[in-house]
Each structure stands twice: as C-alpha cells, then as structure tokens.
Amino acid sequence: MPAFQNLMQVFTLLDKSNCRQCNEKTCMAFAAAVFSGRRPLSDCPRVPPEIASRADRQSHTQASPPDEVEQQLADLRARLVTVDMADAARRTGAERRGNRLIVKIMGKDFAVDANGKIYTDIHANPWVTIPVLNYILHCKGAPVQDQWVPLRELPSGGDWYRLFGQRCEKPMKKIADVYPELFSDLVDIFNGQPVGGQFQADVALVLRPLPRIPLLICYWQAEDGMESNLNLFFDASAEANLGISGIYALGTGITRMFEKLAQRHGIG
Ligand code: SF4
C-alpha cells in the first residue's frame, strides 16, 4: 500500500538538487518512482534516515489523509530543528524575535519557533502551515525581480502547470464568478493591493502570502460570449525561494482559504 496520498508529498521531502545519486534523472522522477511503489524513499541518500525509514515502514500500512498531513507536518518540524534561525531570518525576509521567526503572511504575523511550534492570531491550518515551514527550510533569499510570470514559465513549472490550473486557477475562477466581493474582501482582510495595467485584466490584485513570494491574481470578467478567466502570476524569483512543490502547495492552500471565505458568505 502506498505511504503517500500524492506525488507532491514525496517531492516535498526531497532536497530538489537533481544530484542523480539515486540514478534517476531528476528528483521529480524519483518522487514518481517512490509514489508508484517502485522505489523506497530511503534510496535517496539526502533524505534524513529517520524520515526515510518511517515512510518506508508506512508503505505497508496506509495512513488516513489527516494522518498523512500530520506526518508531513511532523517531518517538516523535524527538519526545522536543524535550521540556523538567524540565517533563516536573512533568507526569508522574516523578523527574528528571540528564538522565533515572525513571518508576515498577507500582512498578519505568523511566528514559528525552532521546534516548528506556531504562534499566530490567524487560523493556522495545514494549508498555511506546510507552505510556511517549507519556505523557512528552502528559501534561498533570492531578491524579488518585479517580473510577473505564469507558473509554466518558472524553471520547473512545465511539470506542474496543468495540475496547478486544475487545482488552483480553475476553482479560484469559479469562486470569483459567483462571489464578486472576493476581491474587495482580499483588500480589506488580507492587505491585497489593486494594481492597474496588468495583462488588461478587469481585476488585478497583488497579495503577499510570504515575504519573498508576491502573488498577482488577474481576473477577466465574462463578456461577448467569452468565458471569464483567472490566472495567477508569480515573481520570476519564486522557485528559488519556495521550490515548485511549495508554490503548488501555497496555491492550493490559498484556494482553500478563498473557498472558506466564500462559504462564510453562504456561497459554495
Ligand atoms: S538522490 Fe535524492 S536529491 Fe539526488 S536526484 Fe535523487 S531524489 Fe533528488
């Protein structure tokens, strides 16, 4: 029985260096081999042994989805213990207070200590927590380039953009179609900044879900028989600071958040 619910859960555990020590061409190819049960995770020498052996043991006893999420969080926390917090603050653009990092998430404080314990006023569900912990672990501190690109134009985006379109952009468009106040709520609640002249969109809004990961949402209303459309754009530096699987997880997390927001208004 597989230990993972999806490919991304395996990929998140890899260091994404494409070093080929596992004899696969890329970390993504290795993740696919693990997910399909053809290879054990312990074949990657760069995965900490305690994480690899736990995953390999679980390949014989499938956990329920909530257990999988908890396991993923536990693995990320185990890695966080080894992180130099001063260096992490420099890389991530977070503030350091004592043994905590204060990461600004859409204008709100989200504090993490060296054990991965979370302190925040916002609802810290796994859709938020997993991308934040990934960001602290993997952010390389690349400066924002002020150049918006779709996911498919990020270095590894070609493998992910179809899934991203299905799981993020399409459901987000559906929410915007039936809940037009979405964008004004994003301004009021999440510090969204309306910007003009972006890709001739009817609505263009910048969010800052993580300090070095700005996100541009563009929405085109339906008109003249043309369907509405919604696309997300990232800064060209995004993959260096979160990794492609982290960007995907962030996108799905934000989509879930918008769904909850719409439900609070009795929609969906
Ligand atoms: S050995 Fe690990 S880090 Fe190197 S390519 Fe394979 S999966 Fe990626």
Last residue of one domain, picked from the residues 138, 161, 176: 138
> Which pLDDT band, with edges at 50, 70 and 90, does 160 fall under?
confident
Tell me: do 47 and 154 sit in the same domain. no
Backbone angles phi, psi at 155, to 5 degrees: -50, -40
**Does 1 reside within a domain?**
no
Decide: 31 and 5 in contact? Cβ < 8 Å. no
Higher pLDDT, 211 or 159: 211
Tell me: do 153 and 195 sit in the same domain. yes
Taking the C-alpha atoms of residue 100 and residue 102, their distance in angstroms, rounded to an integer, is 6
Tell me: do 187 and 212 sit in the same domain. yes
Q: Tell whether ligand 1 has an atom less than 6 A from the beta carbon of residue 34.
A: no
**Does 18 reside within a domain?**
yes
Decide: 208 and 129 in contact? Cβ < 8 Å. no
Last residue of one domain, picked from the residues 138, 160, 195: 138
* CA separation, residue 93 to residues 89, 107, 248, 253 (Å): 6, 13, 21, 21
pTM: 0.73
| pLDDT tops 90 at residue 24 | no
Tell me: do 240 and 152 sit in the same domain. yes
Q: Tell whether ligand 1 has an atom less than 6 A from the beta carbon of residue 22.
A: yes
Closest-CA residue, ligand 1 atom 4, reads 19
Task: Tell me the CA–centroid distance for residue 46 and ligand 1, in Å.
Answer: 7
**Does 2 reside within a domain?**
no
Taking the C-alpha atoms of residue 193 and residue 6, their distance in angstroms, rounded to an integer, is 34
Query: What pLDDT does 267 receive?
Result: 64
**Does 152 reside within a domain?**
yes
Domain that holds residue 252: 148-264
**Nearest CA among 154, 125, 152 for reference residue 213:** 154
Per-residue pLDDT tens over the stretch 83-131: 999 999 999 999 999 889 999 998 889 999 988 888 887 766 777 888 8
Q: Which atom of ligand 1 is nearest to the CA of 23?
A: 6
Q: What would the two tokens of residue 102 be?
A: 């204060």
* CA separation, residue 238 to residues 213, 222, 256 (Å): 6, 30, 21
CATH assignment of the domain containing 15: 1.10.15.40
Alpha helices in the chain (DSSP H): 7-13, 27-35, 49-58, 65-80, 85-92, 126-138, 161-164, 170-178, 182-190, 238-242, 244-264
The interaxial angle of helices 244-264 and 126-138, nearest 10 deg, is 150
Could you identify the residue written with the tokens 């995965």?
A: 47
Tell me: do 54 and 96 sit in the same domain. no
Tell me: do 32 and 93 sit in the same domain. no
Query: What pLDDT does 192 receive?
Result: 94
Q: How many folded domains does the chain comprise?
A: 3
DSSP state of 223: B
Q: Tell whether ligand 1 has an atom less than 6 A from the beta carbon of residue 23.
A: no
Tell me: do 154 and 100 sit in the same domain. no
Tell me: do 25 and 112 sit in the same domain. no
DSSP SS3 for 210: strand
* CA separation, residue 81 to residues 15, 18, 56, 99 (Å): 16, 24, 22, 11
Tell me: do 152 and 258 sit in the same domain. yes
User: If you average pLDDT over every residue of the chain, what do you get?
Assistant: 86
Amino acid letter, 197: G
Per-residue pLDDT tens over the stretch 196-243: 878 899 999 999 999 999 999 999 999 988 999 999 999 999 999 998
**Nearest CA among 256, 179, 248 for reference residue 219:** 179
Residue in 11, 23, 24, 245 to alter for ligand 1 test, most ligand atoms within 8 A of Cβ = 24
Decide: 148 and 216 in contact? Cβ < 8 Å. yes
Tell me: do 162 and 244 sit in the same domain. yes
> Which pLDDT band, with edges at 50, 70 and 90, does 63 fall under?
very low
Task: Tell me the CA–centroid distance for residue 225 and ligand 1, in Å.
Answer: 48
Query: What pLDDT does 130 receive?
Result: 85
Length of the chain: 268
Taking the C-alpha atoms of residue 94 and residue 117, their distance in angstroms, rounded to an integer, is 16
Q: Tell whether ligand 1 has an atom less than 6 A from the beta carbon of residue 202.
A: no
Task: Tell me the CA–centroid distance for residue 24 and ligand 1, in Å.
Answer: 7
> Which pLDDT band, with edges at 50, 70 and 90, does 1 fall under?
very low
Query: What pLDDT does 149 receive?
Result: 97
Higher pLDDT, 13 or 236: 236
Q: What would the two tokens of residue 204 be?
A: 């263009």
**Does 49 reside within a domain?**
yes
Tell me: do 168 and 202 sit in the same domain. yes
**Does 244 reside within a domain?**
yes
Task: Tell me the CA–centroid distance for residue 113 and ligand 1, in Å.
Answer: 29
Tell me: do 202 and 257 sit in the same domain. yes
**Does 102 reside within a domain?**
yes
**Does 222 reside within a domain?**
yes
Backbone CA torsion sign across 247, 206, 120, 89: positive
* CA separation, residue 7 to residues 12, 58, 180, 225 (Å): 9, 16, 34, 38
> Which pLDDT band, with edges at 50, 70 and 90, does 32 fall under?
confident
Per-residue pLDDT tens over the stretch 164-205: 998 899 999 999 999 888 999 999 988 999 998 788 999 999
Last residue of one domain, picked from the residues 89, 120, 138: 138
